[in-house]
């Protein structure tokens, strides 16, 4: 692969730091600009926007490829699916998100309607990527049951109260970002953002509540080292 930084005078480390700050934390372009200036890095918010559009899809693709080829990676045990409405340029769209039993984001798509066809679309995408799951957990939206009936295969489906909190909680990070960005202006930009954000969220997801401080620091350092090596 050719060096993607070959036409840029700025250090690749600075570009990676800038992109990480913007996608990982609920910061606006101008807030990233101000934080970088405090660290002695003078770039405009438009430069931050350009770097995000240029490099983040590349970084996200590399992260996803590494995770899928990891020997211990598996995401076909239990899936949690949920959908929320999002305002895009004044119109209502629906964001469908799927996470596995460990909270890893499997996929996220934006649709115009919340119906059987949309539910069937995301289920087919998931099965194509990861195979059939052992169980699917959703809310009580009837579209999921209709989509599963179309798929066949008798995949176990549960809709009990509180069981889908893992999927619902995964929307919180997106909602904070949505407020920081003052909503989205196009479906394309929304779809691009949620697809990339999911991969970055997975990369830095260390399950902090399940491990002690020393292991968390180790995993956090490893994640940062891997991030600094992206597109190297």
Supply the DSSP string of 147-214, one letter for each residue: HHHHH-S---EE--TTTTHHHHHHHHHHHHHHHHTTSBS-HHHHHHHHHHHHHHHHHT---GGGS-HH
Assess if residue 122 is contained within a domain: yes
Assess if residue 200 is contained within a domain: no
Assess if residue 6 is contained within a domain: no
User: Does 66 share its domain with 82?
Assistant: no
pLDDT of residue 177: 85
Q: Is the per-residue pLDDT at 66 higher than 60?
A: yes
pLDDT of residue 163: 84
User: Does 60 share its domain with 84?
Assistant: no
Q: Which residue do the tokens 């968390």 mark? A: 216
User: Does 119 share its domain with 57?
Assistant: no
pLDDT of residue 193: 92
Range of the domain at 216: 12-70+207-228
Assess if residue 195 is contained within a domain: no
More confident call, 163 vs 138: 138
CATH code, domain with 146: 3.30.420.10
Q: What is the pLDDT of residues 174-228, one digit of tens each?
A: 898 888 887 888 999 999 999 999 999 989 987 777 788 899 899 999 999 999 9
Assess if residue 82 is contained within a domain: yes
User: Does 126 share its domain with 34?
Assistant: no
Q: How many CA atoms lie within 13 A of 3 on its CB side?
A: 8
Residue 196 tokens, joined:
């990339």
Task: Tell me the β-bridge partners of 110.
Answer: 95
User: Does 180 share its domain with 90?
Assistant: yes
User: Does 136 share its domain with 179?
Assistant: yes
pLDDT of residue 136: 94
User: Does 181 share its domain with 139?
Assistant: yes
pLDDT of residue 160: 82
Question: CA dihedral defined by 209, 211, 213, 219, rounded to 10 degrees?
Answer: -100
Residue 38 tokens, joined:
């405090």
User: Does 89 share its domain with 176?
Assistant: yes
User: Does 140 share its domain with 224?
Assistant: no
pLDDT of residue 25: 92
Assess if residue 197 is contained within a domain: no
> Are β-strands 157-158 and 135-137 bridged in parallel, bridged antiparallel, or unpaired?
parallel
User: Does 166 share its domain with 133?
Assistant: yes
Q: Is the per-residue pLDDT at 99 higher than 70?
A: yes
Contact yes or no for 57/20 (Cβ under 8 A): no
**117/153 Cα distance (integer angstroms):** 18
Q: What is the pLDDT of residues 101-156, one digit of tens each?
A: 888 899 999 999 999 999 999 999 999 988 889 999 999 999 999 999 999 878 99
Question: How many domains does the chain fold into?
Answer: 2
Burial of 11 (0-12, 13-18, 19+ CB in 10 A): exposed
Mean pLDDT of the chain: 89
pLDDT of residue 210: 77
User: Does 105 share its domain with 164?
Assistant: yes
> Are β-strands 135-137 and 105-111 bridged in parallel, bridged antiparallel, or unpaired?
unpaired
pLDDT of residue 21: 94
Assess if residue 117 is contained within a domain: yes
User: Does 144 share its domain with 62?
Assistant: no
Helix, strand or coil, per DSSP, at residue 74: coil
**169/180 Cα distance (integer angstroms):** 18
**72/36 Cα distance (integer angstroms):** 37
Q: Is the per-residue pLDDT at 75 higher than 70?
A: no
Residue 72 tokens, joined:
């211990």
pLDDT of residue 70: 65
**192/124 Cα distance (integer angstroms):** 20
Helix, strand or coil, per DSSP, at residue 67: helix
pLDDT of residue 144: 94
Assess if residue 1 is contained within a domain: no
């Amino acid at each position: 692969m050719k060096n993607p930084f070959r036409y840029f005078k700025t250090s690749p480390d600075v570009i990676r730091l800038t992109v990480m700050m913007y996608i990982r934390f609920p910061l606006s372009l101008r807030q990233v600009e101000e934080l970088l200036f405090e660290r002695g890095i003078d770039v405009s918010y438009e430069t931050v926007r350009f770097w995000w559009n240029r490099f983040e899809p590349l970084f996200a693709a590399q992260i996803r490829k590494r995770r899928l080829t990891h020997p211990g990676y598996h995401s076909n045990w239990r899936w949690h699916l949920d959908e929320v409405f999002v305002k895009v340029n004044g119109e209502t769209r629906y964001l469908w998100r799927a996470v596995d039993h460990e909270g890893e984001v499997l996929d996220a798509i934006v649709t115009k309607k919340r119906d059987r066809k949309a539910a069937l679309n995301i289920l087919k995408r998931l099965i194509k990527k990861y195979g059939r799951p052992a169980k699917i957990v959703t809310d009580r939206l009837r579209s999921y049951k209709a989509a599963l009936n179309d798929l066949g295969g008798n995949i176990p489906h549960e809709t009990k109260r509180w069981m889908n909190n893992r999927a619902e909680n995964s929307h919180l990070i997106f909602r904070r970002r949505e407020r920081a960005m003052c909503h989205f202006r196009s479906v394309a930009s929304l779809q691009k953002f949620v697809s990339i954000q999911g991969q970055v969220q997975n990369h830095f997801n260390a399950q902090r509540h399940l491990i002690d401080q020393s292991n968390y620091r180790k995993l956090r350092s490893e994640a940062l080292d891997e991030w600094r090596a992206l597109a190297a």
